[in-house]
A = this chain, B = another copy of it.
Amino acid sequence: MQNRQIVLSNRPDGIPGPEHFSAKTTELDLTLAEGQIAVKNIYLSIDPAMRGWVSLEPNYLPPVQIDEVMRSICVGEIVDSKHPDYAKGDTVYGIFGWQEYCVCEPNPMVRKINPELAPISSALGALGPNGLTAYLVLNELGKIEAGETVLISTAAGGVGSIAGQIAKIKGCKVIGLTGSDDKVEMCVNEFGYDHALNYKTTENLEKAIAELAPEGINVFFDNTSGAIADAVYPNLAMNARALQVGTAAVESWEPETPLGPRRDRHILTKRLTVMGFVLIDHTAKAPAALQQLAQWYTQGELKYRENITEGLENAPQALADLYKGANTGKQLIKV
């Protein structure tokens, strides 16, 4: 049978977009070997991390090769199985790529989704990697405590919006930075942030944060790096934790590393702890975290937004739009 795919056709120097991918149709043999499953993808995830996956720079996964199907986490339905743990009709989550069908041996990351708990698409966002990232960064690395002040960049995004809600559930004061007035409104009215700022239109962001948090920021959930983070560092409190979860505001790290204000004096005199977070390091903590997230969701304490674009062929454009901040909530492709 035929399998439509999106492959990496040339390597971007910076932000990936439609010009770096091409569509192709290949012949797929659905005759499975022992231990394999065949998945029909239903939703594909569009993620900020994809820029790193298509880059040759050292990263936490090997780079996607030219002519290789673009790496992507997906939710799909098992259409055939020769694996004892999976049956036809199961809904599954895994790295199945930007394609209609995936035949593979399920790696440890593949897991079954309960379609009765929540919409299955949420397994790619709020009840999946985004929720896990938000939860684990705040609890395992940030060790947030009630009464602390937490600042979150990309505050209305797939990860940020969940992080904001978790910090509120935990009793923190929560400030969001986001890129439009609509998103500022969404942060405060939908996700429960105490305050939110439009970093694009706020004249002096550093001063505006200082006015909202004269007590200082205890935990900085940094999805952006760049000038946005530069406005936060002077506002960090003693013993603050700054957690590097993404670097969405820096267009390119090659060939020259971009310059920014040195942070060493803040790190030293305020005894900061700055840490990098990559979700794949924390798989052991995922089941308990997912259970907590699902509980909050079913109790109505956790809201999420999805932006679902129809059509596999639109994945590259959706990825480019992600870096422009065009999306609100988690960006998905419905195959």
B276 engages A262 (CB within 8 Å): no
A258–chain B nearest beta-carbon distance, Å: 5
B-binding segment of A28-36, A244-252, A317-325: A244-252
Contacts of A229 on B, CB cut-off 8 Å? 264
Selected from B260, B268, B271, B276, the residue in CB contact (under 8 A) with A247 is: B268
Does A225 have its Cβ within 8 Å of any Cβ on chain B? yes
B275 engages A273 (CB within 8 Å): yes
Q: Which of A210-226 contact B (CB under 8 A)?
A: 222, 225-226
Does A52 have its Cβ within 8 Å of any Cβ on chain B? yes
Q: How far is the CA of A264 from the CA of B278 in the complex (A)?
A: 13
| Max chain B C-beta neighbours (<10 A), residue from A250, A260, A278, A281 | A260
Does A272 have its Cβ within 8 Å of any Cβ on chain B? yes
Does A277 have its Cβ within 8 Å of any Cβ on chain B? yes
B265 engages A270 (CB within 8 Å): no
Does A60 have its Cβ within 8 Å of any Cβ on chain B? yes
Q: How far is the CA of A273 from the CA of B267 in the complex (A)?
A: 11
Contacts of A272 on B, CB cut-off 8 Å? 274-276
Q: How far is the CA of A229 from the CA of B226 in the complex (A)?
A: 19
Q: How many residues of A contact B (CB 8 A)?
A: 37
Q: How far is the CA of A18 from the CA of B8 in the complex (A)?
A: 63
A60–chain B nearest beta-carbon distance, Å: 6
Q: A260-B259, A261-B257 are in contact. Are A269 and B225 (CB under 8 A)?
A: no
Does A296 have its Cβ within 8 Å of any Cβ on chain B? no
Copies in the complex: 2
Does A59 have its Cβ within 8 Å of any Cβ on chain B? yes
Q: How far is the CA of A60 from the CA of B271 in the complex (A)?
A: 10
A257 engages B253 (CB within 8 Å): no
Q: How far is the CA of A262 from the CA of B263 in the complex (A)?
A: 9
A323–chain B nearest beta-carbon distance, Å: 15
Does A300 have its Cβ within 8 Å of any Cβ on chain B? no
Q: How far is the CA of A57 from the CA of B267 in the complex (A)?
A: 14
B264 engages A247 (CB within 8 Å): yes
Q: Which of A68-82 contact B (CB under 8 A)?
A: none
Contacts of A269 on B, CB cut-off 8 Å? 52, 57-60, 276, 278
Contacts of A57 on B, CB cut-off 8 Å? 265, 269
B271 engages A277 (CB within 8 Å): yes
Q: Which of A21-65 contact B (CB under 8 A)?
A: 52, 57-60
- Residue pairs across A and B with Cβ atoms less than 8 A apart, 17 shown, are A60-B269, A225-B264, A244-B268, A246-B268, A250-B265, A253-B265, A257-B262, A267-B274, A267-B276, A268-B278, A269-B278, A270-B276, A271-B275, A271-B278, A271-B281, A272-B275, A273-B273
Besides A222-B264, A260-B262, 19 more A-B contacts (Cβ < 8 Å) are A60-B269, A244-B264, A244-B268, A247-B265, A247-B268, A250-B265, A253-B262, A253-B265, A257-B265, A258-B261, A263-B263, A267-B275, A268-B276, A268-B278, A271-B275, A271-B276, A271-B278, A273-B274, A274-B274
